[in-house]
Amino acid sequence: MNILFGIHKPDSGYLKVFGTEVSFKSPLDAIENNIGMVHQHFMLIDDFTVLENVILGDEITKSKGLSIDFKKAGIVLNEIIDKYDLGLDVNKLISEISIGQQQKVEILKLLYRRSEILIFDEPTAVLSPVEVEHFFKIIDSFKADGKTIIFITHKLNEVKHISDRISVLRKGKLVYESDNSNELNISDLSKAIVGDINDIQNSEKRNASVKNVEALKLDDISLTVNEVKILNSLDLTLMKGEIHGICGVEGNGQSELVDVIYGLQKNFEGNYEKLIPGGISLVPDDRKRKGFIKEFNIGENISLKGANLNFLPSKKINKISEKIISDNDVRVSDLESPMSELSGGNQQKVIFARETETDKNIGSNKSDAEENNILLLVHPTRGVDINATSFIHSKIIEQRNAGKAVLLISSDLDELISLSDRLSVLYKGEILKTFNRNEFSRFIKSDSEIEPETDQNLY
Amino acid sequence: MDLITSVISLGFVAQVLRLMTPFYLGASAANFSERGGVINISVEGFMNLSAFSFAVISILTGNITAGFILAVLINLLFSIVFGYFTVSLKINQIVTGVGFNLFIAGLTKFLLVYIFSSSSNTPRFEGLPEFTLFSSIPFFGLFLTDYITLFCFLLIFISAYILFKTRFGLRLRSAGENPAAGESLGIKIRNYRYYGILICGFLSAMAGIWMASNQNSYSDGMIAGRGYIALAAMIIGKWKPVNIFFACLMFSAFEAFEISLQITGSDIPSQLIQMLPYFITILVLIGFIGKTKPPAADGVPY
């Protein structure tokens, strides 16, 4: 995709757009050839208005050509917004609008530049189910307008739902191509994606639970931030040896719930009791921001976790790195390369290892009783490739089998259903209902149908 | 004349407005650079350099126009070097800025001794011609007495217009907020960062020239931290031209007050008053005027 959009140049081969051979030196060339791309990580300026973000680089100016004609630009944009029902206010700042709306701003950027070929990189990863539906409607109207859409995703049901043709790329090769028809089998697709690697049969490995030992109890927890009630008399009990899933649309109090349990948010009302010894481990939602220090290497990042090491000779650090790499199948070119050079899946493996590895293995001299026995996982496989996802899933089960209390927050329903022992629905800061595994197990798909999130740079 | 009557007078207000000129020019200079994503703490040094070159060249050639033009050109030349270090070579901007400040301070000292055999100041010279159009108008005639001050007041509106209403301003700001986003839309980020630095060099030249012209000579250390205060004013003004104007007014009011103290021979030690602007700057930076948010990519090499 980076070649298509002019960010990288191919070593060999050629590119044809609408029948003419082209060679792109920069994204600008791609834009001029009516190719537009919505990146997975938005290219927006928080402190600019929607309008400023859209027109940047291709401004509508007054007759003299220097000052921007905001009025005219507003009219042009509103026409497009109305045509495709984008529902944006062009004068709002990016920092004031939701992620879903920000994506529409990215789409608006392409439409404003008259793109005919639209590339979407993981567009639905950040959207709620309702937003996804609306997104598909917009895509359909583009199709009706004769535009070409390239939709990159690892969510197979979405591919099946929206595509006319499907291609599978693996390790830089086109391994599968087919028209989307009723005969198309999703398991064939996932086989093409996974290749020869055997699925890890998550649900098979599940031990009988060490139930009925309460690990954590939240009783009538309420939290108000900036006069908005975020958690509302929330009750939650976490058992030892269970995976307790939390499902619900993002923004219903998930991150605040984690903050309360992890001790980052202290201004809550209600009772919070930890009933087993040891600490709490957290795999945070935004790994790039909260999960690790990108300039540090693997061993250094691991050593950050309160290990009793006053001196950190690089030999010791490298030993830790080696252990993490071999135990977790982390793909890294150099032992000492910074975390930022790892793919998303490998970064997540390292964070997961840091939070679950017994401290003894990474140089601390804590006793077993002081080990962290509660594990909070927030979107543990978001933006993670398919192999790393099944690896992390099997590790989660392993932690559960070892008797830890696991809280799993995810927006991936399939992940929640296949892993959870109990599943609670979080809505407007309240647990609406909690289901036991036998109540939702009929939704469990065979493992080949689970659609783990995929990091596209792996292919 | 006692202190109170000297402070409560139209003349005092005019004095405040006049003394604001180097602060606002310096703050606006730094603002253009930072809006483009480059922290330029060498505004102090650039002001010093242009005050020096304007005075020295004017004296040596006997031609103020030559002094003015060459002072501007020398500042632009130094700005290009600053840009080469910070934008092209991506050297840490603060370190580069400190280096420029120290280098310019040493260079001017050295040349002062070398040319005039004096370690403190140049001989006196004429300075820029006066702006007389408003001199008969009450009040305005008291402070709009030279072209640079006039330009400075116009700059409040010009810079706001350039930054927020023009294509150039939008692109410059994109370089300071999210260069990757700008680049994905085909904007040549590095060029815009150079433009910001060059505008900074030009405006700090105006500030330095005003200082030397106002004093009719160059003396060592005459900038006396005004470039740094300008940076503080920019931060207090939250990188917005009109807000920066008010921040600069505060600083120049302190300076005018201090001058009044000295003239009236008040018992209040002038050092105490000299200290006040810095003290207030610290208070403000701690957060008394709400959160200040610099451009998101300010100081980040790209």
**What are the pLDDT digits (tens) for A178-220?**
887 766 777 777 777 665 444 444 444 566 665 678 889 999 9
Contact A456, A122 (CB under 8 A): yes
In this structure, of A298-307, B235-244, B245-254, the range with the lowest mean pLDDT score is A298-307
pLDDT of residue A454: 38
A217 DSSP β-pair partners: A237, A273
pLDDT of residue A197: 42
Task: Select from A45, A60, A106, A109 the residue whose CB has the most chain B CBs within 10 Å, as the one to mutate to test that interface.
Answer: A45
A197 touches chain B (CB under 8 A): no
Start-end of H helices in B117-178? 140-143, 147-165, 167-177
Q: Do B170 and A47 count as a contact with CB atoms less than 8 A apart?
A: no
CA dihedral A67→B79→B92→B185, nearest 10 degrees, is: 30
Tell whether the model's pLDDT for residue A173 goes beyond 80. no
The answer to whether the CB of A391 falls within 8 A of the CB of A328 is yes
The answer to whether residues A241 and A309 belong to one domain is yes
pLDDT bucket at A365, cuts 50 / 70 / 90: low
Same domain for A80 and A161?
Answer: yes
Q: Are residues A141 and A256 in the same domain?
A: no
In-domain check, residue B32: yes
The CATH number of the domain holding residue B276 is: 1.10.3470
pLDDT band at A309 (very low <50, low <70, confident <90, very high): low
Mean pLDDT of B72-84: 97
Residues of B whose CB is below 8 A from A54: none
Output the CA–CA distances (angstroms, integers) from residue A150 to A87, A117, A236, A280, A396, in the order listed: 23, 7, 43, 42, 34
Residue of A nearest to B166 (CA): A67
Give the closest residue to A193 by CA, choosing from A175, A215, A213, A220. Answer: A175
Phi/psi for A274 (5° steps) reads -105, 125
Residue B217: helix, strand or coil by DSSP? coil
Instruction: Check whether residue A76 and residue A166 sit in a common domain.
Output: yes
Residue A236 main-chain phi, psi, to 5 deg: -155, 130
For residue A46, give how far its alpha carbon lies from the nearest alpha carbon of chain B (Å).
Answer: 8
Q: Given an 8 Å threshold on Cβ–Cβ distance, is B170 in contact with A68?
A: yes
Residue A433: strand, helix, or coil: strand
Mean pLDDT of A352-375: 70
Query: Is 80 exceeded by the pLDDT of residue A359?
Result: no
Among the three residues A176, A194, A212, which one is the final residue of a domain in this structure? Answer: A194
Look up the domain containing A281 and give its range.
202-458
Distance from CA of B90 to the nearest CA of A (A): 18
> How far, in Å, CA of B100 to CA of B83, rounded?
12
- pLDDT bin (cut points 50, 70, 90) of residue A444 is low
For A367-426, the DSSP string reads: -GGGS--EEEEESTTTT--HHHHHHHHHHHHHHHHTT-EEEEE-S-HHHHHHH-SEEEEE
Claim to verify: residue A171 and residue A224 sit in the same structural domain? no
Based on the fold, state whether residues A305 and A186 are members of the same structural domain: no
Q: Is the dihedral of CA A66, A67, A68, A71 positive or negative?
A: negative
Please, what is the average pLDDT of chain A?
A: 82
**Is the separation of the CB atoms in A262 and A459 below 8 Å?**
no
Residue A9 in any domain: the answer is: no
A243 with A172, same domain: the answer is no
What distance in Å separates the CA atoms of residue A342 and residue A349, rounded to the nearest whole number?
Answer: 10
Same domain (yes/no): A163, A239: no
pLDDT at B67: 95
pLDDT at B242: 95
Q: Tell me which residue of B137, B131, B166, B185 sits closest to B21, measured CA to CA.
A: B131
Percent of chain B with pLDDT over 90: 63
User: B177, A61: Cβ pair inside 8 Å?
Assistant: no
A-chain CB neighbours of B165 within 8 Å are 67-68, 70
Q: Is residue B106 part of a domain?
A: yes
Distance, CA of B113 to chain centre: 26
Range from A253-267, B201-215, B259-273 carrying the lowest mean pLDDT: B259-273
Q: Are strands A405-409 and A243-247 parallel, antiparallel or unpaired?
A: parallel
Question: Which among A46, A57, A67 is the nearest to B185, CB-wise?
Answer: A57
Domain shared by A89 and A209, yes or no: no
Percent of chain A with pLDDT over 90: 21
Q: How confident is the model at residue A128 (pLDDT cuts 50, 70, 90)?
A: confident
Determine how many CB atoms are found less than 10 A away from the CB of residue B8. 9
Q: Using 50, 70 and 90 to split pLDDT, how confident is the model at A361?
A: low
> Which residues make beta-bridge pairs with A212?
none
More confident residue, B5 or A368: B5
Residue B298 lies in a domain: no
Contact B187 A67 (CB under 8 A): no
**Confidence band for A459, pLDDT divided at 50, 70 and 90:** very low
Q: Give the gap in angstroms from C-alpha B73 to the nearest C-alpha of chain A.
A: 25
Q: What is the pLDDT of residue B160?
A: 95
- DSSP characters over A279-330: -EEEE-S-IIIII--TTSBHHHHHHTTT-S-S---HHHHHHHHHHHHHHHT-
At A210 the pLDDT is 58
Distance CA A263, CA B50 (A): 55
Number of domains in chain A: 2
The pLDDT of residue A12 is above 90: no
Range of B46's domain?
3-122+146-287
User: Inter-chain contact B185–A31, Cβ cutoff 8 Å?
Assistant: yes
Is A432 an interface residue toward B (CB < 8 Å)? no
CB contact under 8 A, A67 and B177: no
Looking at the complex, does the CB of residue A56 fall below 8 Å from at least one CB of chain B?
yes
Residues A113 and A42 in one domain: yes
Has residue B170 got a pLDDT over 80?
Answer: yes
- The phi-psi region of residue A153 (left if phi > 0; otherwise alpha if psi is between -120 and 50; otherwise beta) is beta
Tokens at residue A276, please? 């087993």
**CA-to-CA distance for B250 and A10, rounded, in angstroms?**
58
Domain count, chain B: 1
Q: Does A66 touch chain B (CB under 8 A)?
A: yes
Q: What pLDDT was estimated at residue B165?
A: 92
Query: Rounded CA gap, B87 and B196, in Å?
Result: 11
The pLDDT of residue A402 is above 60: yes
Contacts of A51 in chain B (CB under 8 A): none
Nearest to A27 among B167, B184, B295 (CB): B184
A403 contact partners, CB below 8 Å, separation of at least 6: A210, A240, A241, A373
**Contact (CB<8Å) A68/B186:** no
- Give the three-class secondary structure for A32: helix
Residue B302 lies in a domain: no
Residues A180 and A207 occupy one common structural domain: no
Is residue A10 domain-resident? Answer: no
Strand pairing of A405-409 and A374-378? Answer: parallel
Is pLDDT of A386 > 60?
Answer: yes
Whether chain B has a CB inside 8 Å of the CB on A67: the answer is yes
* Cα–Cα dist A241/A230, whole Å: 29
- Smallest CA–CA separation between B295 and chain A, in Å? 8
The residue among A381, A397, A317, A319 whose CA lies nearest residue A346 is A381
Total CB pairs under 8 A between chain A and B = 70
Q: What does the CA dihedral B244, B246, B252, B253 come to, rounded to 10 degrees?
A: -160
Helix (H, G, I), strand (E, B), or coil: what is residue A119? strand
- CA A15 from centre of chain: 31
Residues contacting residue B262 through CB under 8 Å, at least 6 positions apart: B270
CB pair distance less than 8 Å for A47 and B184: no
CA distance B143 to B130: 11
Q: Do B181 and A28 touch (CB under 8 A)?
A: no
Encoded amino acid at A89, one letter:
D
- Same-domain check for residues A279 and A414: yes
| Confidence band, pLDDT 50/70/90 cuts, at residue B107 | very high
Q: Looking at the domain assignment, is residue A140 inside a domain?
A: yes
Of residues A44, A52, A65, nearest to B170 (C-beta): A52
> Worst-scoring range by mean pLDDT, A15-19, A312-316, B9-13, B106-110?
A312-316
What's the CATH number where A141 sits?
3.40.50.300
Q: DSSP labels for B74-94?
A: HHHHHHHHHHIIIIIS---HH
- pLDDT at residue A268 greater than cutoff 80: yes
Give the chain B residue whose CA is nearest to the CA of A45.
B178
B170 contacts in A (CB within 8 Å)? 48, 52, 55-56, 59, 68
d(CA B67, CA A38): 53
Is A410 a domain residue?
Answer: yes
Assess A424–B contact: CB distance below 8 Å, yes or no: no
For B176-217, how does the pLDDT look when each residue is reduced to its tens digit (9 = 90+)? 999 988 988 888 999 999 999 999 999 999 999 999 999 999
**Contact indicator for A119, A33 with CB cutoff of 8 Å:** no
Nearest to A61 among B167, B180, B187 (CB): B167
Alpha-carbon gap: B163 to the closest alpha carbon of chain A (Å):
10
Q: State the Cα–Cα distance between residues A26 and A42, nearest whole angstrom.
A: 18
Find out whether A397 and A198 touch, Cβ atoms under 8 Å. Answer: no
CB-CB contact of B15 with B256 (8 Å): yes
The pLDDT score that the predictor gives to residue A19 is: 84
Assess contact for A292 and A350: CB atoms under 8 A.
yes
